[in-house]
Amino acid sequence: MKLFYLIGDSIDQSLSPYIHSWIYKFLDIDADYNNKKISVKNFDKDKIQLFSNLINESIHGLNITNPYKERIISNDIRISEDAKKICAVNCLYKDKNNLIGENTDWIGFVQSIVNNKIDLTKYNIKVIGAGGAAKAIIYGLQKLDVKKIEIYNRTKKKLLINNQEYYTYDIDEFGKKMNDNIFVINCIESNKIQNILNDDLLKSVLYFYDLNYHKNNFHNLLEEKDIKVILGLDMLIYQAIKSVEIWLKFDFANKIDIKEIKNYLKNKSLC
């Protein structure tokens, strides 16, 4: 049996084990995927053991979620070109005798946009957050040839993504730079965004893409205002599929209809 894990801090509610379980059953692969919670305090020590487990093949692949997508990067890992340009890793595996760090988040994001048939070049993009997931989103936006990107964060910082510099705005400045045709991409917790987007700000918002994949009352409020809400579930599924393709070393994404995975999750009352 092949063993895979999701490592992170707050992962108790993650849907990833259910998604991967469906994929392995579909592929008729003897594999298991579980959450492995690691505290921030113990991360540096625990990651050494995880690297060792990958090398000796007692585990066969890792997904990494917040807050470790940037912190996981070290001299022990060979970083793929995409992950290097993003400066964040969410997928680890062994190739020959090397540990490889990859990023499948950006692929999941791009595929979800393609799946929803949206031309993002028509919109003014406002990204909220500047962590590992947000950087993958911005890289995906570059791949989609999007030019109008503003990034808002709790602290001002400079991001270097694919050799392009971005300076973030303070999140409190969100409403001071309003324009038409706004497409918001939220990369922070949903409960923290509600205090930023008041009724006046929402008048110019056409889409709200939320990396959080559990629908809540705020999403319902947005839909009442005729704002199209896209949750992060499609992105989560597509990045999971890509991770499994990397781990198993064969392509199968074109054989999967993600509606079947979403129905599976819905029947389990998970989304």
What confidence tens digit (pLDDT) does each residue in 52-86 have? Answer: 999 999 999 999 998 999 999 999 999 999 999 99
**Across the strands, what pairs with 154?**
none
Tokens describing residue 61: 């692949």
Tokens describing residue 241: 């599929």
Q: Are 60 and 32 in contact (CB under 8 A)?
A: no
* pTM of the model as a whole: 0.94
Q: Which tens digit of pLDDT belongs to each residue from 235-264?
A: 999 999 999 999 999 999 999 999 999 999
- The Cα 71–Cα 57 span in angstroms is 22
- The Cα 251–Cα 249 span in angstroms is 7
Buried b (16+ CB within 10 A) or exposed e, 16-47: bbbbbebbbeeeeeebebebeebeeeebeeeb
Q: Is 57 left (phi over 0), alpha (psi -120 to 50) or beta?
A: left
Q: Which one-letter amino acid corresponds to residue 102? A: E
Most confident of the ranges 124-128, 173-177, 187-191? 124-128
Q: How many residues are recorded in the chain? A: 271
Tokens describing residue 29: 């692969």
Q: In what order do the strands lie in the sheet with 124-128?
A: 169-170, 149-153, 124-128, 182-186, 205-210, 228-231
Tell me the pLDDT band of 180, cut-offs 50, 70 and 90: confident
Mark whether 135 is an active-site residue. Answer: no
Average pLDDT over residues 31-46: 94
Q: Which tens digit of pLDDT belongs to each residue from 221-230?
A: 999 999 999 9
Tell me the pLDDT band of 201, cut-offs 50, 70 and 90: confident
Looking at the predicted structure, is the pLDDT value of residue 118 above 80? yes
Task: Determine the longest span between alpha carbons in the chain, in angstroms.
Answer: 56
Domains of the chain with CATH codes = 2-103+234-267 (3.40.50.10860), 107-231 (3.40.50.720)
Catalytic residue among 25, 37, 45, 69: 69
Q: Is 119 in a helix, a strand, or coil?
A: coil
